[in-house]
Amino acid sequence: MEITNLSPIDVWFSDFEKDPLSALDNLLRGRAYMGKLNRNETPEILFRLFHTKDTGIQRALDEAMRNWFQSYWMAMPRTAASAQWAEILQNAFISVQRLKLCKSYQWLSGSCFRGRSWLRSLYQGPARDPEASLLQTLALRQQDRTLLPLWIRLCRMEEDLPLHYGAVGLLGLRKLPEEDGTPPGGLNPIVLQGIVDLADAIYHRKKTQGEHLWLLECRAIMALYPRSTQYWIDNFSPLIHQKPIGDAAKWFNKTIPGLFDKMEQQRHDKKPTGVFSRPPSKQHLEKILRLIEEQPLDSIKEELQGFLEKHRHYAYQTGVSEFLAKTFCGLGNKIFKRDINLALDLAEEAFLWEPYNPFTWTTRAKIEEYQGNYPRSMALLWEAKRRFPGNAHIRTELANLLGKDSEYKIAEIIYRQAIVDFPKDDVCRNGLAGVLLQRGKRGDAIALLEETIKVFPHNKVAKEFLQKVTHGESIPDISKVYKDDFAGEKSKPREVEVGAKPVESAPFPTKTKIDIDEPGQKKPSELKTAGGEEEAPVEDNIEEKIGMTNLYRLESRTVDNEKEREGCKEKAFSLIKDALQKTPDNVPALLENGWLLLDEAADHARDFFSDQLKRHPHVLGLHLGNLRYKGQKAITINRQEWADLFENFSGSSTVINLERTLHEMSHGNGGRVTALDDLRRQLAKNTNQLPATLRENERWAVSLVKQSLFGNINLGESLTEDSIPPIIANYKRHEHLLKGIVEQCVSAI
Amino acid sequence: MAFQKTKSSSFYQFLKTTAKGSHPELRVIAENFILEERLTGQREDSYESHIAAPANVGDWQEGHEGYVAEKINVVSGTPETFTAQNQPNLISKLDENQYLVRLENATRLGNALGLTNNELIDYLSTFIKNPGDKDAPAIVEKILADWNKTRDHRPVFVGFWDEVKDLMVDPEGKDRDAPEWANRLRDRFGLGHYDPDEGEPIPVVLLRYRVSDVINGRPADPKFAAVPNVLDSKWSPFFCPTPVNGWNEGQSLDLTAGNKDEYALNCEIVHRYIAYRASYFYRAGWITKSPGRTCEEARRIHFSLLQNDYKYFSEL
């Protein structure tokens, strides 16, 4: 072996000078021995190596780190063990924070949205939780207020995450910069709102250890910001008044003696001394809408800007984003034909606040389509379809868009599947009728419309549609039909009622300036992150491939013709193979692949699930797929395996219960009645306590399972062997649908 | 038993080659593996399944880190160190009342609260001096809760209070308020990886607790402590394996500046995970200087004191 006078650190630096990315990769992955520093944790090693170096070398590290993230984002090495990789990622995130690596930070903040489900899949407990490490890094190095909605959501526990994410949310709020980007000069009132929100969420979700965690957080924050007791009383009591938080209010009295007395006094005075503003009034909105109708946008620029600012101010002050999202999307829909840039900015800003609100997805898609960005619009809708399986409107929008591109066959499949998933939705039926006409299936269209009118006798659209068809119009204006269908959207957008899925903040600017005179249209690719960096490139067509795979896979279950069935599967396999080649750790793509293998009853499904569970131990869908495979192969599933899932994925009890029931129905060994009865009890539970990101999908699943599996069974009574024959019949009739509910819910990540 | 059992194995030959060449900081890692006598056959097999036949130091280190990640720094369950696989090295007879001490790098402790290192050390110092302070306990409790939650279950290296208390208290038992305590303690325990070099000082906390605190965490399981060996942590040139013959604990390097005559052997052991409590915080401060003695020099003296007990010293 060559004798060298260079220390291991010198050798590494020499490598770094030649090839920074490779040297950094070796260090992060434990391939570089760092001599006297080696025993330290990686972030400490990197800090010691670089913190005294000149800015040029630090910049090289920053560049290398960003490239490193790009190389491995959703594509970790094949041989990597998940526990080790989780630790490596944590070390990388911490290093970005400690060494203030700006480019890496900006890349991460732009890639967070698409990376979180992957990071979450590596979760092995609070000690190996790369997602929390990333969020902590983002919180500590915030350069603007872009991430505020994310911190609020974490405090409200709107995502299905462990308790300690609430603490990350509070950290993010505390470290939120001032509007000019400077560090916070004091305790932002939004932190107090976050504390109240967290108490409320913990109380309602009945989180174990929740009170203890909350008290620790609250006391630590009060110690970090010494204020008089009167200050705390004056500032907390109006918040608690505004938001009744039940017994959680008692926790406040443990930390702020006298709070209850003050609140009692305010109750008598009936004048809570609120420090927060109100959202703009309905009258103000109506005035703005009137102005938009009557005047050129140029002439109402100031008025409109003022109105938007009021909404922003209210959202920033209170963290309540409902009004902002609804209004901004509504305005976006209203003005996109007159000022597309402004419309898109408003929709993006709404999305930033409420990414779990489907309305923010469909609005963006609509505007993107209008400005000719068809692939982006399509990608948004495919992704929305996956994230919000319980939302019928997204299906209609997607099918509509596909129809405009003459993809009638795919549109038809989407509608057909939507009709099964949403038996009470008349809009999908009318949409399907339109597509059938386009495909020359006039008879089918008429039959469908007639059936629709039978089921929904008051449906004017179907009646009018049928009338036009029967009176000789070969293909009535379908868009008119859609428009009529959503005429009520202004006042009561269907989407707003629905909230579903995860939910990271996206890399778009929070505040958009109205610059109506600016020529040219801003393309999504030109959008910058708040820090001025370009957002991470988005593989838009990946979502399309995943969506199409899902479509063909489900279709293959229903077509009778074997050749067609095989054709569907072939297409599905080919599409998902492409998607996984580009992003091998894309969790929804992996799940689609797994379901496909199960449908094939392929032996290598076992290896697939076993390998992927080693790489992604925290993905419910992979666990359920693995158990489904065992069922298929008559391998015994012990009770503990189900119990572990209930414990580790407590927010998804309905889906787990449903899968267990399906298993018992088809392969079980005497546990059928128990499983059905457990499911019955589960369906009766109150869904309000679920995180917002799960709630609407859960409601959809509950409703569909009730209808399709239990039919007319009284769910208030326990099930017995005698009462289940009709349920068995239902199961046989709707097996594919029920399986599909499980698959769609676990893929909505 | 150790890797010497099959001297013709490719890994052993790799160790021999590595120990002969290269820079001293790398050489010593191979030396440690050659000298190590405390590995059971099971642990050796477990390790070898991760390293296969390394072609170079990078492969070896990657395999070692993989082994440590999977078998030692576990997030749940028990590290191999405290299993029956390591039976000969388990320690069960320790007086439960005696104090153990551990010096921890505190850099990350304030992260979850967004504290700077200065703020962190100030809060901890205030708390240690005056646990009844109005604000510090709330902050310390929060720091502890986060720390306990995010620590994995890796073996915890500790020394014995009696062997280092001269650095912290005077003969009458009063606290010495010596600003150099952290540097000295680092040197005494051979924690050479805590080296600020010419850069920012390293914030550290000294934890002191009783053996019974470790045992009481899981009283039914007697496997609470062990003599450390080369497989129980990441590589460090400052670690020296301890011979079996005549030594019931590990012996740390002494990096304190001075003559060979002043060199002190200090016992070190590893114990299983425990949740730290606020009452364990004994000091908080800064390591400001590099160790007083180089690793090479310390090892030379160390070996001169232990070499007769090493079974395989002649292999070096």
HEC string of A647-704? HHCHHHHHHHHHHHHHHHHHCCCCCHHHHHHHHHHHHCCCHHHCCHHHHHHHHHHHHH
Do residue A223 and residue B112 have CB atoms under 8 angstroms apart? no
Do residue A37 and residue B195 have CB atoms under 8 angstroms apart? yes
Query: Which residues on chain A are in Cβ contact (under 8 Å) with B142?
Result: 216-217, 219-220
Do residue B64 and residue A213 have CB atoms under 8 angstroms apart? no
Query: Which residues on chain B are in Cβ contact (under 8 Å) with A36?
Result: 25, 192-193, 195, 237-238, 295
Domain identity same for B34 and B164: no
Is residue B224 within 8 Å of residue B271, measured between CB atoms?
Answer: yes
Do residue A5 and residue B23 have CB atoms under 8 angstroms apart? yes
Domain identity same for B55 and B107: no
Q: Which residue has the tokens 């709070």?
A: A259
Domain identity same for B168 and B273: yes
Domain identity same for B165 and B145: yes
Among candidate residues B86, B113, B135, the one where a domain is terminated: B86
Query: Which residues on chain B are in Cβ contact (under 8 Å) with A217?
Result: 142
Do residue B193 and residue A36 have CB atoms under 8 angstroms apart? yes
Q: Which of A5, A39, A167 sits opposite B112 (nearest CB)?
A: A167
Do residue B76 and residue A124 have CB atoms under 8 angstroms apart? yes
By C-alpha distance, the chain A residue nearest B60 is A31
Counting Cα atoms < 13 Å in the Cβ hemisphere of A283 gives: 0
Q: Is the ipTM of this complex over 0.85?
A: yes
pLDDT, position A482: 46
| Cβ-count burial A212-249 (b if 16+ within 10 Å, e if not) | ebbbbbbbbbbbbeeeeeeebbebbbbbbeebebeebb
Q: Residues B160-182: pLDDT tens digits?
A: 999 999 998 888 878 877 789 99
Compute the nearest-CA separation of B9 from chain A (Å): 18
Domain identity same for B37 and B111: no
Q: Which residue has the tokens 């063909």?
A: A552
Q: Residues B221-278: pLDDT tens digits?
A: 999 999 999 999 999 999 999 999 889 999 999 999 999 999 999 999 999 999 999 9
Do residue B138 and residue A87 have CB atoms under 8 angstroms apart? no
Best of B14, B20, B25, B204 to disrupt the A interface (most A CBs within 10 Å) is B25
Domain identity same for B103 and B75: no
Domain identity same for B78 and B142: no
The gap between the terminal CA atoms of chain B, to the nearest Å, is 17
Query: Which residues on chain B are in Cβ contact (under 8 Å) with A2?
Result: 21-22
Do residue B197 and residue A219 have CB atoms under 8 angstroms apart? no
Domain identity same for B117 and B81: no
pLDDT, position B53: 83
Q: Which of A36, A83, A164 sits opposite B195 (nearest CB)?
A: A36
pLDDT, position B203: 98
Domain identity same for B62 and B102: no
CA distance linking residue A402 with residue A411, whole number of Å: 6
Do residue B69 and residue A81 have CB atoms under 8 angstroms apart? yes
Best of A4, A25, A29, A33 to disrupt the B interface (most B CBs within 10 Å) is A33
Structure letter (DSSP) for residue B175: B
Q: What angle do the packed helices A164-174 and A130-140 form, to 10 degrees?
A: 10
Domain identity same for B12 and B155: no
Do residue B25 and residue A8 have CB atoms under 8 angstroms apart? yes
- The rounded average pLDDT for each run of 10 residues, N- to C-terminus, in chain A (749 residues) is 74 96 97 96 97 95 98 90 93 97 96 92 95 97 92 92 95 95 93 93 82 94 93 88 74 84 69 62 93 93 93 86 94 94 95 93 96 93 95 94 91 94 89 90 91 88 87 61 38 30 30 36 35 44 94 92 93 95 93 94 89 94 96 90 94 94 86 93 87 87 94 88 91 94 94
CA distance linking residue A662 with residue A683, whole number of Å: 15
Compute the nearest-CA separation of B173 from chain A (Å): 33
Query: Which residues on chain A are in Cβ contact (under 8 Å) with B198?
Result: 52
pLDDT, position A473: 66
Among candidate residues B35, B59, B86, the one where a domain is terminated: B86
By C-alpha distance, the chain A residue nearest B19 is A1
* Domain span holding position B75: 3-86
**For residue B33, pLDDT beyond 90:** yes
Do residue A124 and residue B20 have CB atoms under 8 angstroms apart? no
pLDDT, position A95: 98
| Cβ-count burial B180-204 (b if 16+ within 10 Å, e if not) | ebbbbbbbbbbbbbbbbeeeebbbb
Query: Which residues on chain B are in Cβ contact (under 8 Å) with A37?
Result: 193, 195
pLDDT, position A416: 93
Do residue B73 and residue A35 have CB atoms under 8 angstroms apart? no
Q: How far is CA A628 from the centre of its chain?
A: 25
* Segments making up each domain of chain A, as ranges: 8-141, 636-747
Q: Which of A39, A129, A139 sits opposite B193 (nearest CB)?
A: A39
Query: Which residues on chain B are in Cβ contact (under 8 Å) with A216?
Result: 138, 141-142, 145
Compute the nearest-CA separation of B95 from chain A (Å): 30
Overall number of domains in chain B: 2
Q: Which residue has the tokens 């002649």?
A: B314
By C-alpha distance, the chain A residue nearest B14 is A1
Query: Which residues on chain A are in Cβ contact (under 8 Å) with B113?
Result: 171, 220, 224
pLDDT, position A682: 94
Compute the nearest-CA separation of A53 from chain B (Å): 10
Query: Which residues on chain B are in Cβ contact (under 8 Å) with A647?
Result: none
Do residue A97 and residue B111 have CB atoms under 8 angstroms apart? yes
Domain identity same for B64 and B145: no
Summarize the confidence of residues B53-80 as an average pLDDT.
Answer: 93
- A-B Cβ pairs (cutoff 8 Å, strict): 155
pLDDT, position A598: 94
pLDDT, position A714: 87
By C-alpha distance, the chain A residue nearest B236 is A39
Compute the nearest-CA separation of B176 from chain A (Å): 29
Q: Which residue has the tokens 């952290």?
A: B182
Best of A39, A42, A93 to disrupt the B interface (most B CBs within 10 Å) is A39
Do residue A2 and residue B196 have CB atoms under 8 angstroms apart? no
Is residue A618 within 8 Å of residue A651, measured between CB atoms?
Answer: no
Compute the nearest-CA separation of A223 from chain B (Å): 5
| Cβ-count burial A534-555 (b if 16+ within 10 Å, e if not) | ebbebbbbbbbbbbbbbbbbbb
Query: Which residues on chain B are in Cβ contact (under 8 Å) with A191?
Result: none
Query: Which residues on chain A are in Cβ contact (under 8 Å) with B62?
Result: 29-31
Q: Which of B75, B111, B146 sits opposite A124 (nearest CB)?
A: B75
Among candidate residues B61, B86, B111, the one where a domain is terminated: B86
Compute the nearest-CA separation of A248 from chain B (Å): 20
Domain identity same for B141 and B189: yes
Query: Which residues on chain A are in Cβ contact (under 8 Å) with B195?
Result: 36-37, 48
CA distance linking residue A716 with residue A730, whole number of Å: 18
Question: How would you classify residue A39: left for phi > 0, otherwise alpha for psi between -120 and 50, otherwise beta?
Answer: alpha
Do residue A30 and residue B152 have CB atoms under 8 angstroms apart? no
Query: Which residues on chain B are in Cβ contact (under 8 Å) with A138?
Result: none
Q: Which of A30, A52, A94 sits opposite B62 (nearest CB)?
A: A30
Query: Which residues on chain B are in Cβ contact (under 8 Å) with A32?
Result: 58, 61
Do residue B20 and residue A35 have CB atoms under 8 angstroms apart? no
Residue type, A398: L
